[in-house]
Structure 1
Amino acid sequence: MVAEYGEARDIIGVIRGCIKHVTTGHSHHVLKLAYILGLRVSTNHRRLGVGMKLVKHLEEWCKQKGADYAYIATDCANQPCINLFTQKFSYTKFRSPTVLVQPVHAHYKPIGSGIAIVRIPPHVTAKVYRHLFANAEFFPTDIDAILSNKLNLGTFMAVPKKLLPKWNPETGILPQSFAILSVWNTKEVFKLQVKGVSKLTYACCMGSRLLDSWLPWLRLPSFPDVFSQFGVYFLYGLSMRGTNGSRLMKSLCTFVHNMAKDDVGCGAVVAEVSQQDPVRVAIPHWKRLSWNEDLWCIKKLADLQEGECERSEMSDWIKSPPSSAGIFVDPRDI
């Protein structure tokens, strides 16, 4: 939706929204969820109620489409956005996942010995994800559409090489020890750019990159060229099992880093997971580029009809504790 002004109908504001069916983390319960994103108002028309009108109209559209809940995701430091949704529209602070960022270096990173990386077909991945994330929150029922999207670069599983002779990926049966993730190419949708840094910071960053390019065997943790436009690879569907799960996940993330290194214009590999998810500690990242708390706020839109058997489950979702199975972050929402 857009906000227009004057006879010339100049666009002064915009907001986007989508609706999908997702799990709530409670006994495979599925509901209709609206995601609100991309609220922007031109600088000259702020503090005039434009943002509020856009949100109000989009919420009405979501209700007409039958959405049970609506949610937004924002940086925990974005206080104006938080105040708008929590104070003006009664959204509740709901979940605070962690965003982990790994810059792409100029050298390849070594994958752990004794580990095999296997590409999993989309139809098998869908079956595996429905099993792994059955009790997670925000898992979309149209996972097949995500996996078949042209922005999806594939799903990969890391397993000990000694298990390969006894395991067939096509069966969908999981090995005793594994790590799995999918890769989403966001640089085909949007690009980022860092501006306003000092000359000294710029020189240090570019110098480290140059040195890493000249002497890749040193494996220096160089900084990518984020001062020009760059894109990122987003990791989703991250899960691990078994005694070697953490090591396998680290190797899998290394594999994706090397993929990104070969893709010109990809500056970082990013993942978002719940703070309680064990996979969090296994994902390589730079603390200075990551942030511990993204903020998801949620609001109930629909009132259930009296007598519906699922009334208590839906009413309790906002107040419920985080699912032990974690959060599934839909890459389409990034």
Structure 2
Amino acid sequence: MEKKIAAEANFPAEHSPPVVVREYDGGSDKAAVEELERRCEVGPPGKPSLVTDLMGDPIARVRNFVSHIMLVAEYGHGGEIVGVIRGCIKTVTSGKKISSTEFPVYVKLAYILGLRVSSTHRRLGIATKLIQELENWSTKNGAEYSYMATERTNQPSLNLFIKKCNYVKFRNPTVLVQPIHLHQKPLPSDITIVRIPPNISEQIYQTLFSCSEFFPKDIDKLLNNKLNLGTFMALPKNSHSKWNPKKTEDLLPKSSFAILSVWNTKEVYRLQMKGVSAFTHAACVGTRVLDAMVPWLKIPSIPNVFENFGFHFMYGLHMEGNDGSRLMRNLCKFVHNMAQDDVDIRVLVAEVAPMDRVREAVPHWKRFSWEEDIWCIKRLGVQVDENNCHDHWYKSSDSSEVIFVDPREL
């Protein structure tokens, strides 16, 4: 059922054109929302920016969650769509455990993404109204918290959520980006890489990430999603034959290992870099030309990110043992080589907590990566209780060593 809510702008009501926030209608709103998304670039004005090109239905970015919604804002008597926001609700770990037990503490929270307001209709309170209505929907559907992610340099977004909507800075994971080169990366002969079926991957991840933050309770749905390209583990070759994950006591290898899963974003949305200088564009093309002409030199070429492209997201990264770091580096090389089979995939991306050991093991280019992705959070509906373990998590400035980044939120 379509829901409409009138919103006030930042000027007297008698002069204020009506603003209506309602649920997205795929039949009538699709074209207008796609056009709005195309006009909204991500990045500081006057600098290179990433433009998102949604593939298929715009609501696909949250459809992989059971509980999800997409709202649009209409402005004026003509009902022009000038704003959009998406949200989903999921249950995740807080990094804590119930006293005297091994059971993790779960919290139910909403995630906000895809907030866009037309550049010609900003400073009218439209973004604030979209956030408020999404929070109302989240509260009615049982969410205890609402959170969002943005770049450290996106000051307008931080001002909106922190100063106007009472969110607080919570976590700051690191985004690691590696270009896909034209040449294959060699893998050492003493390492074995195996593909792990979803049911075994689920058990392994539940064991490894129960004390992490943001590990989803519905990990089975994530691993069985069609966008998940598989879970892979790197092991020393001489230990592979000794590992039998079908036995509970042998679920994890006794020796060193590294594990991760791969998510394909290109079926949901693609990116395009705009606003670079002609010199930069030509220099990037030059690296690819040289790499193609003299492949034996293995020049680290820069892929064509100036046209529509997708990326593979590596998540669930974990390593153990004295050889864990080397195994993780080579596992990432394996994913790089796998990505070369798809010409639309130009980069690999991973996001990890600042103190996570895998951060230094994952290959990446510092120029393409960024140190801090800012996650902001807000307690919904109730006052903060000093004796509530959930509130202690919400107020804690110290994160767990590991943050599980759900690729469905990208």
Same fold (TM over 0.5): yes
Structure 2 gap ranges (5+): 1-70, 98-103
Q: Aligned residues, how many?
A: 331
- Give the aligned partner of residue 203 of structure 1: 282
- Give the aligned partner of residue 128 of structure 1: 204
Q: Indicate yes or no: 2:394 matched with 1:318.
A: yes
Q: C-alpha deviations, 1:238-289, integer Å up to 9, x for none?
A: 0000000000000000000001112111110000000000000000000000
TM-score, normalised by the number of residues in structure 1: 0.96
- Give the aligned partner of residue 190 of structure 2: 114
User: 2-side partners of 1:8 and 1:77: how far apart?
Assistant: 35
- Give the aligned partner of residue 228 of structure 1: 307
User: Do 1:135 and 1:323's aligned partners in 2 also have CA atoms closer than 8 Å?
Assistant: no
Q: What is the one-letter code of the residue matched to 2:292?
A: S
- Give the aligned partner of residue 268 of structure 2: 189
- Give the aligned partner of residue 335 of structure 2: 256
- Give the aligned partner of residue 121 of structure 2: 45
User: 1-side partners of 2:86 and 2:317: how far apart?
Assistant: 27
| Greater Cα offset, 315-324 or 157-166 | 315-324
- Give the aligned partner of residue 251 of structure 2: 173
SS in 1 for 2:374: strand
User: 1-side partners of 2:387 and 2:140: how far apart?
Assistant: 20
| Greater Cα offset, 5-14 or 156-165 | 5-14
Q: CA deviation at 1:9?
A: 1.7
Q: What is the one-letter code of the residue matched to 1:21?
A: T
User: 1-side partners of 2:172 and 2:313: how far apart?
Assistant: 18
- Give the aligned partner of residue 287 of structure 1: 366
Q: What is the one-letter code of the residue matched to 1:271?
A: A
- Give the aligned partner of residue 112 of structure 2: 36
Q: Indicate yes or no: 2:7 matched with 1:7.
A: no
Distance 1:13 1:37, change over 3 A: same
Q: Out of 13, 16, 23, which is 2:86 matched to?
A: 16
User: Do 2:384 and 2:391's aligned partners in 1 also have CA atoms closer than 8 Å?
Assistant: no
SS in 2 for 1:187: coil
Bigger RCO of structures 1 and 2 (CA < 8 A, at least 6 apart): 1
User: 2-side partners of 1:92 and 1:255: how far apart?
Assistant: 38
SS in 2 for 1:276: coil
User: 2-side partners of 1:317 and 1:291: how far apart?
Assistant: 26
- Give the aligned partner of residue 275 of structure 1: 354
- Give the aligned partner of residue 327 of structure 1: 403
| Greater Cα offset, 231-240 or 195-204 | 195-204
Q: CA deviation at 1:12?
A: 0.8
- Give the aligned partner of residue 379 of structure 2: 300
- Give the aligned partner of residue 151 of structure 2: 75
Distance 1:303 1:202, change over 3 A: same
Q: What is the one-letter code of the residue matched to 1:273?
A: V
Any residues of structure 2 matched to 1:54-93 within 5 Å, and which? 54-93=130-169
Structure 1 gap ranges (5+): none
Q: CA deviation at 1:144?
A: 0.5
User: 1-side partners of 2:387 and 2:308: how far apart?
Assistant: 48
SS in 2 for 1:25: strand
- Give the aligned partner of residue 105 of structure 1: 181
